[in-house]
Amino acid sequence: MTEQTVLPELVRRESRSFLQYIREAFPWANAKDEAVRAAIQRIANTEADFNAKLGRMLQKRRIGLPFLGAFPTSFTGSNFQSATSLVPRLVAGERQSLADLERDLFHVNDAEMRRELDAYRELKRRHLGELEALTAN
């Protein structure tokens, strides 16, 4: 695998993650769950911003951006659910996303891109901890 194949796939995968689906679906929350929904939205927005930055870096390197396609249809069963009930699945998704990112890092040799991906990995680790903390509430 090369950077030209790994990096566009990473951008596509991150753009179509469960976290990004929930960001667009805007889950339901009553007054006591509003803080959970706000945390999910903040985490998802931060990752979407970082993913957009990675996409711009690909363009600068003349690496084509991937066709994102639709979100997996399996995500549609999560519509109209409370934010709190979605947290365990978000945690599982973030764990898998982090594992995929760490696997992809072995294929990145570009020093600047590697630094950005290392920063993204740290961001995802922090977000995973925040999501796990939401399950304790």
- pLDDT for the residue 137: 61
What's the rounded Cα separation, in Å, for the pair 7 and 116? 12
- Residues 41-80 as b or e (16 or more Cβ within 10 Å = b): bebbeebbebbeebbebbeeeebeebeeeebeeebeebee
Low pLDDT (below 50) residues in the chain: none
For 126, residues 6+ apart whose C-beta sits below 8 A from its C-beta are none
Answer whether residue 116 is part of any domain: yes
Say which CATH number the domain at 93 has. 1.20.1260.10
Is residue 9 included in any domain, yes or no?
A: yes
Please state the domain count of the chain: 1
Tell me the residue range of the domain where 16 lies: 3-64+79-136
At residue 29, the pLDDT reads 83
Residue 95 belongs to some domain of the structure: yes
What average pLDDT does the structure give for the chain?
Answer: 93
